[in-house]
């Protein structure tokens, strides 16, 4: 029998419980081959489950051991690892929940999973220097309408069920959790000095952050917000956001005219 | 063929001990890092490794090379591995003499090989390609195993020694794995040690394991047992001054306990080396 055939049978035995592999093995002096092969088959499931437990501790707390155990079991059966680094094995858990008949209605659990995944992603996102406000002060004020900003690679902006953040914090602190409501909240997550931070943000800031990511110029973002709010002169409001982004460490670079200028668009 | 200089006595670098290491600068000669844990875009893991590397020598120890797999070599993985090695300049790069999956999958386990001439040819050829790609000699570790294959044509120690000689690579001899496999398969652990070519061994691993009655499992979650300490003494007598490190991957004890175990390794090796020096004089 070829090595390729042996390895295929061994892997099928672990993944699907196929027993053909047992014909390729010997009993030991102390026990039978099925018992020994189970070290690999059981170990495989236990290891993948452990990766999920490590990545989603608050979701586990939220669902309880039984429900979380069922979720992990379903995920492990449905999801094989293609990556050399186990770090990425659990990344699809929120998508898996959204696609699963058993979980797709549980928005609070799905959003908690999305939030925890975003925390993991921020943890080891690419490094970049954080821009300081002095880089903005070095640019003449008349050029500010043409400013563009690069967000730090760790920044993510998530739309979640309203109250997800409160639920996460309550579960993390062993407080009494309140269920999320039907509305929506936006959460910004980022890393600064190798620590992970997050906070909620309002609709105007959310929109501005999405436009920043598109490299829309500062002046165009002002016009966009003014159009949307049907108010004039929101430049001051936007300047406050920019100031806060510098303080938080959300920005990696400030430049002038980094993107093709385009007319403001309206988002519903 | 010049072996790398022995590094002394090291520990596995695990996040749970970052604070102890950075705040106390413990008397550890070097650290072994799991390569894949640092094959990430950025953030705290790499920042911690930068800090620790500025004080200590490191070696890189991988778990996903899958050198004995019949699946094609993963060159994306090798590129990341090489980039990490270029950045952190480890004294050497090691992985396991095993496979981790076929058909594009990774089972995240160190799976056993049938010891056949076909497997030997495959491993030797792949080691040569990996060494060419990395531009350095690879260090390969014997794994613990729980099953044996009817197809095997030779002993594990013969297979391991032949891989090292034919592929011209180094060996990382895991003393605990020799002990665990000898119990599981009923072979003599001293025969194993005595059959490994001494000029190929550059590193020892020591670790604990768990008991399952009819077999032992390589879990790295217990202190090193007395049988493994005895085997380590024998290994020091045979192989001489070899870089030694302790692996601990679960049920993490206080860092001081690991330092105490490492001190025992240091003393054990010293006594054994004195004995061999005395015999040679």
Q: Would the CB atoms of A28 and B101 count as touching at under 8 Å?
A: no
Task: Render A109-157 in DSSP notation, one character per residue.
Answer: HHHHHHHHHHHHHHHTSPP-PPPPHHHHHTS-GGGGGGEEEEEPTT-EE
Chain B residues in contact with A79 by the CB 8 A cut-off are none
Task: Report if residue A66 sits inside a domain.
Answer: yes
Same domain, A117 and A80: no
The pLDDT tens digits of the residues spanning A65-106 come to 999 999 999 999 999 999 999 999 999 999 999 999 999 999
What is the distance between the alpha carbons of residues A151 and A254, in angstroms, rounded to a whole number? 9
Is A133 in the same domain as A64?
Answer: no
CA separation, residue B49 to residues A125, A154, B89 (Å): 16, 19, 12
Identify whether residues A144 and A261 lie together within a single domain: yes
Tell me the mean pLDDT in the region B83-92: 98
Whether B104 sits inside 8 A of A82 (CB atoms) is yes
Contact between A125 and A154 under an 8 Å Cβ cutoff? The reply is yes
Residues A67 and A159 in one domain: no
Indicate whether A71 and A128 sit together in one domain.
no
Question: CB-CB: which of A2, A48, A125 is closest to B41?
Answer: A125
Shortest CA distance from B47: residue in chain A: A194
Number of domains in chain A: 2
pLDDT value at residue A225: 86
Residue A40, pLDDT above cutoff 50: yes
CB of A190 within 8 Å of a chain B CB? The answer is: no
Cβ-based contacts of A86 with chain B (< 8 Å)? 36, 106, 108
Q: Is A106 on the interface with B (CB under 8 A)?
A: no
Outline where DSSP puts E strands in chain B.
9-12, 30-34, 58-61, 93-96, 138-141, 148-149, 170-174, 201-206, 210-211, 216-217, 243-246
Indicate if the pLDDT at residue A266 is higher than 80: no
Per-residue pLDDT at A177: 79
Residue A268: pLDDT band by 50, 70, 90 thresholds? Answer: very low
pLDDT band at B281 (very low <50, low <70, confident <90, very high): low
The verdict on a CB contact (< 8 Å) between A81 and B105 is: yes
Structural domain includes residue A105: no
Residue among A1, A36, A154 whose CB faces B146 most closely: A36
Backbone angles phi, psi at B29, to 5 degrees: -75, -30
The C-alpha torsion from B207 through B208 and B210 to B215, rounded to 10°, is: 60
User: For the segment A93-141, what is each residue's pLDDT rounded down to a tens digit?
Assistant: 999 999 999 999 999 999 999 999 999 999 999 999 999 999 988 899 8
pLDDT of B251 > 90? The answer is: yes
Q: Pick the last residue of a domain from A42, A58, A90.
A: A90
Which residues are paired to B279 by β-bridges? none
Q: Same structural domain for residues A83 and A171? A: no
B9-280 topology per CATH: TIM Barrel (3.20.20)
Q: Does A80 touch chain B (CB under 8 A)?
A: yes
CA angle in degrees (0–180, nearest 5) for B107-B108-B113: 75
Question: Do the domain assignments include residue A104?
Answer: no
Answer whether B106 sits within 8 Å of A83, measured CB to CB: yes
Q: What is the C-alpha to C-alpha distance for residues B23 and B21, in angstroms, rounded to an integer?
A: 6
For residues A91 and A73, give the distance between their C-alpha atoms in angstroms, rounded to a whole number. 15
Q: Over range B61-72, report the average pLDDT.
A: 98
Asked if B122 lies within 8 A of A81 by C-beta distance, the reply is no
pLDDT tens digit sequence for B4-31 = 999 999 999 999 999 999 999 999 999 9
Classify residue A120: in a domain, yes or no. yes
Mean pLDDT (chain A) is 92
Q: Is residue A16 part of a domain?
A: yes
Residues A166 and A116 occupy one common structural domain? yes
Q: Which domain holds residue A43?
A: 1-90
Radius of gyration of chain B (CA): 18
Q: Do A79 and A4 reside in the same domain of the chain?
A: yes
Domain co-membership, A25 together with A144 = no
**pLDDT band (50, 70, 90) for residue A239:** confident
Q: Are residues A250 and A130 in the same domain?
A: yes
B125-to-B128, B155, B169, B227 alpha-carbon distances in Å: 5, 20, 12, 36
Across the interface, whether the CB atoms of A85 and B148 are under 8 A apart is answered no
**Is residue B135 over pLDDT 90?**
yes
Question: What is the length of chain A?
Answer: 268
Q: Are A35 and A12 in contact (CB under 8 A)?
A: no
One domain for residues A81 and A158: no
Q: Round to the nearest angstrom and report the end-to-end CA distance of chain A.
A: 63
In A, which residues are within 8 Å of B212 by CB distance?
Answer: 39
pLDDT in tens, B150-198: 999 999 999 999 999 999 999 999 999 999 999 999 999 999 999 999 9
pTM: 0.93
Q: B280: pLDDT confidence band, cut at 50, 70 and 90? A: low
CA dist B43 to A122, A149, B40, Å?
8, 21, 8
Query: Does A99 fall in a domain?
Result: no
Percent over 90 (pLDDT), chain A: 81
- Residues from chain A that touch B69, judged by Cβ atoms under 8 A, are 7
Measured between beta carbons, the chain A residues lying within 8 angstroms of B101 are 11
Contacts of A8 in chain B (CB under 8 A): 102-103
* Chain A positions in Cβ-Cβ contact with residue B144 (cut-off 8 Å): none
A41 pLDDT more than 60: yes
Q: Is residue A83 part of a domain?
A: yes
Q: How many CB atoms lie within 10 A of CB A113?
A: 27
pLDDT digit string (tens) for A166-182? 999 999 998 887 777 78
Domain at A186, CATH number = 3.90.930.50
Residue B15 phi, psi dihedral angles, 5° rounding: -55, -35
Strand partners, B270: none
Do the interacting molecules here have an ipTM over 0.90?
yes
Burial grade of A79 (CB within 10 A; 0-12, 13-18, 19 or more):
middle
A116 and A38: one domain? no
Task: Give the per-residue pLDDT at B183.
Answer: 97
Residue A265: pLDDT band with limits 50, 70, 90: very low
């Amino acid at each position: 029998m070829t090595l390729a055939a042996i390895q295929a049978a061994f892997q099928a035995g672990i993944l699907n419980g196929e027993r053909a592999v047992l014909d390729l093995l010997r009993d030991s002096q102390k026990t039978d081959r099925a018992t020994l092969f189970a070290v690999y088959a059981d170990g495989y499931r236990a290891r993948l489950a452990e990766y999920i437990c490590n990545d989603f501790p608050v979701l586990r707390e939220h669902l309880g051991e039984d429900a979380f155990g069922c979720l992990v079991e379903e995920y492990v059966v449905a999801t094989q690892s293609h990556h050399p680094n186990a770090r990425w094995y659990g990344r699809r858990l929120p998508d898996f929940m959204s696609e699963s008949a058993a979980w797709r209605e549980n928005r609070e659990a799905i959003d908690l999973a999305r939030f925890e995944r975003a925390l993991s992603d921020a943890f080891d996102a690419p490094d970049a220097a954080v821009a300081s406000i002095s880089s903005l002060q070095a640019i003449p004020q008349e050029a500010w309408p043409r400013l563009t900003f690069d967000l730090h690679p760790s920044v993510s902006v998530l739309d979640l069920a309203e109250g997800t953040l409160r639920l996460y914090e309550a579960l993390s602190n062993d407080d009494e959790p309140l269920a999320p409501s039907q509305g929506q909240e936006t959460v910004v997550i980022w890393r600064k000095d190798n620590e992970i931070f997050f906070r909620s943000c309002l609709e105007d800031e959310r929109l501005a952050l999405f436009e920043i990511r598109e490299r829309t110029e500062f002046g165009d973002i002002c016009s966009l917000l003014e159009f949307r709010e049907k108010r004039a002169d929101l430049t001051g409001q936007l300047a406050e956001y920019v100031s806060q982004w510098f303080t938080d460490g959300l920005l990696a670079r400030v430049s002038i005219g980094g993107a093709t200028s385009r007319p403001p668009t309206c988002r519903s | 063929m010049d072996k790398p200089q022995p590094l002394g006595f090291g520990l596995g670098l695990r996040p749970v001990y970052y604070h102890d290491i950075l705040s106390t600068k413990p008397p550890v000669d070097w650290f072994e890092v799991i390569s894949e844990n640092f094959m990430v875009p950025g953030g705290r893991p790499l920042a911690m490794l930068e800090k620790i590397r500025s004080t200590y020598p490191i070696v890189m120890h991988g778990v996903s090379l899958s050198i004995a797999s019949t699946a094609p070599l993963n060159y994306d993985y090798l590129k990341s591995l090489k980039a990490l090695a270029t950045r952190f300049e480890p004294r050497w790069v090691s992985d396991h003499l095993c496979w981790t999956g076929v058909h594009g999958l990774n089972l995240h386990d160190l799976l056993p090989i049938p010891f056949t001439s076909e497997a030997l040819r495959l491993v030797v050829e792949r080691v040569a390609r990996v060494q060419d790609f990395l531009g350095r000699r690879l260090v390969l570790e014997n794994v613990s195993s729980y099953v044996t294959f009817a197809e095997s044509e030779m002993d594990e120690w013969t297979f391991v020694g032949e891989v090292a000689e034919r592929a011209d690579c180094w060996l990382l001899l895991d003393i605990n794995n020799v002990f665990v496999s000898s119990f599981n398969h009923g072979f003599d652990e001293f025969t194993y040690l005595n059959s490994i070519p001494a000029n190929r061994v550059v590193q020892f691993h020591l670790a604990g394991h768990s008991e399952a009655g009819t077999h032992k499992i390589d879990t790295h979650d217990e202190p090193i047992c007395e049988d493994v300490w005895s085997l380590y003494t024998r290994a020091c007598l045979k192989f001489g001054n070899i870089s030694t490190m302790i692996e601990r991957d679960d049920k993490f004890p206080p860092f001081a306990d690991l330092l105490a175990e490492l001190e025992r390794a240091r003393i054990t090796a010293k006594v054994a080396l004195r004995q061999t020096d005395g015999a040679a004089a």
